[in-house]
Amino acid sequence: MEIFKTKTALRAFLEPLKASGLKIALVPTMGALHNGHISLIKLAQQNADVIICSIFVNPTQFTDPKDLEKYPRPIEHDLAMLEEAGCNGVFMPDVKEMYPEKEDWHIDLGKAEFLLEGEFRRGHYQGVTQIVNKLFDAVKPDVAMFGQKDFQQVLMIKNMLKHFNLPITIITCPIIREEDGLAMSSRNIHLSEKDRKNALVLSKSLQFVIDHFNEYSLSQLEEKAEALYAGIEGVELDYFTIANGETLEPAKSKEEGNLVALVAAKVGTTRLIDNMIIK
Ligand SMILES: Nc1ncnc2c1ncn2[C@@H]1O[C@H](COP(=O)(O)OP(=O)(O)OP(=O)(O)O)[C@@H](O)[C@H]1O
Ligand SMILES: CC(C)(CO)[C@@H](O)C(=O)[O-]
Ligand code: BAL
């Protein structure tokens, strides 16, 4: 497995491979890898010939400086996991390589930018699309893999592709969970033993909606799911919603084509997100 710290070195590696007709996949990450990330690598291997994983903790998408400061960075462990998974190359630039100078970035991502995560992390998706655009430019992949765990992120990246008319296929990968249902996340490492137990309410509340979808109205489903959070000390719900999977607006009717239940909550000091697709 090759390791690249600069765009120049990465491009020099990729150019002959592209010229020989090989298909390139990019798996963008912020490191602190777990089996969710490895599932993206494995799916990439089914869809391309050469797999590049990027590891970059992107400062412009963090809206809370403490969150950025304490973001885990176990790089040796990450490299061992990627090697074991059969990844071909790792792009791990420093901040100067990706942001050599101060730059303005603003693109129209549509109304959904300001909902859900966009409401609680103002400007987050400008930062995400700014860095993903730079990563796409550095790798020029044929396909790029993103996790459904960041449901809204996938929509925003697809909107960015449309905005720039980029010829990249986005593949959305299912959420990988721990045995008890907790969605894997790099931030889970911050959970205390008590938080770890409390965090199960996220997947349980989503599963409640899936299991009881035919029994209750949309508002009853939301109410009953939210009630599961009441009285859990140390858990603070940011939002629980059943939304239209294309617009992310609250669902108006159970008959809408794509419906998804999404949640974000602070568990102790750690903010977690999760979702389940209803249909
Ligand atoms: N449990 C998971 N299953 C599938 N994909 C995942 C999972 N967790 C993260 N991903 C995907 O991996 C990619 C990189 O995510 P990232 O490095 O931010 O990891 P993360 O675990 O989501 O970390 P955090 O949520 O703490 O930021 C994203 O496309 C993300 O959606
Ligand atoms: C896509 C991404 C790597 C951009 O920094 C990040 O938002 C993430 O890990 O989901
Ligand atoms: N997984 C999304 C990246 C973030 O939380 O900033």
- 62 with 168, same domain: the answer is yes
Same domain, 167 and 190: no
**pLDDT of 87:** 98
Q: What is the mean pLDDT of the chain?
A: 98
Final residue before a domain boundary, out of 111, 145, 173: 173
259 part of a folded domain? yes
Q: Where are the alpha helices (DSSP H) in the chain?
A: 7-19, 35-47, 65-69, 75-85, 95-98, 117-120, 124-139, 151-164, 193-198, 200-212, 218-227
Atom 4 in ligand 2: residue holding the nearest Cα: 128
| Percent residues over pLDDT 90 in the chain | 100
Q: Which atom of ligand 2 is nearest to the CA of 57?
A: 5
Q: Return the residue whose CA atom lies nearest to atom 3 of ligand 2.
A: 29
Q: Are residues 223 and 169 in the same domain?
A: no
**Do 31 and 159 belong together in one domain?**
yes
Q: Is 178 exposed, middle or buried (0-12, 13-18, 19+ CB in 10 A)?
A: middle
Q: Which CATH number does the domain housing residue 250 bear?
A: 3.30.1300.10
Q: Looking at the domain assignment, is residue 179 inside a domain? A: no
Say yes or no: 14 and 102 in one domain: yes
Ligand 1 mean position, distance from CA 2 (Å): 23
| Number of domains forming the structure of the chain | 2
Enzyme catalytic residues: 37
Tell me the CATH number at 104. 3.40.50.620
Calculate how far, in angstroms, residue 147's C-alpha sits from the geometric centre of ligand 1.
6
| 180 found inside a domain | no
Instruction: pLDDT tens for the chain, 279 residues: list them.
Output: 999 999 999 999 999 999 999 999 999 999 999 999 999 999 999 999 999 999 999 999 999 999 999 999 999 999 999 999 999 999 999 999 999 999 999 999 999 999 999 999 999 999 999 999 999 999 999 999 999 999 999 999 999 999 999 999 999 999 999 999 999 999 999 999 999 999 999 999 999 999 999 999 999 999 999 999 998 999 999 999 999 999 999 999 999 999 999 999 999 999 999 999 999
Of 152, 173, 194, the residue at which a domain comes to its end is 173
Annotated binding site: 30-37, 61, 147-150, 153, 176, 184-187
Task: Report the Cα 5 to chain-centroid distance in Å.
Answer: 23
Report the share of the chain in percent with pLDDT over 70. 100
Question: How many angstroms separate the CA atoms of 84 and 104, rounded?
Answer: 39
122 lies in the same domain as 247: no
**Same-domain pairing of 123 and 230:** no
Does any ligand 2 atom lie closer than 6 A to the CB of residue 28?
yes
178 belongs to a structural domain: no
Q: Please tell me whether residues 165 and 206 are part of one structural domain.
A: no
The domain boundary, picked from 173, 206, 227, lies at 173
Containing 62, the helix (H) or strand (E) segment is none
144 and 197 in a single domain? The answer is no
By most ligand atoms within 8 Å of CB, the mutation choice from 150, 152, 185, 274 for ligand 3 is: 150
Residues contributing to the annotated binding site for ATP? 30-37, 147-150, 176, 184-187
Nearest atom in ligand 2 to the alpha carbon of residue 61 is 5
Q: Using CA atoms, how far apart are residues 147 and 216, in angstroms rounded to an integer?
A: 29
Please check whether residue 244 lies inside any domain of the structure.
yes
- Who's near 169: CB < 8 A, 6+ residues apart? 142, 143, 144
**In DSSP terms, which residues pair with 242 in a beta bridge?**
261
Give the ligand whose atoms come closest to the C-alpha of residue 34: 1
Specify whether the CB–CB gap between 222 and 250 falls below 8 A. no
For the residues of 174-199, what is the DSSP string, one character each?
Answer: PPPB-TTSPBP-GGGGG--HHHHHHT
Residue 166 domain boundaries: 2-173
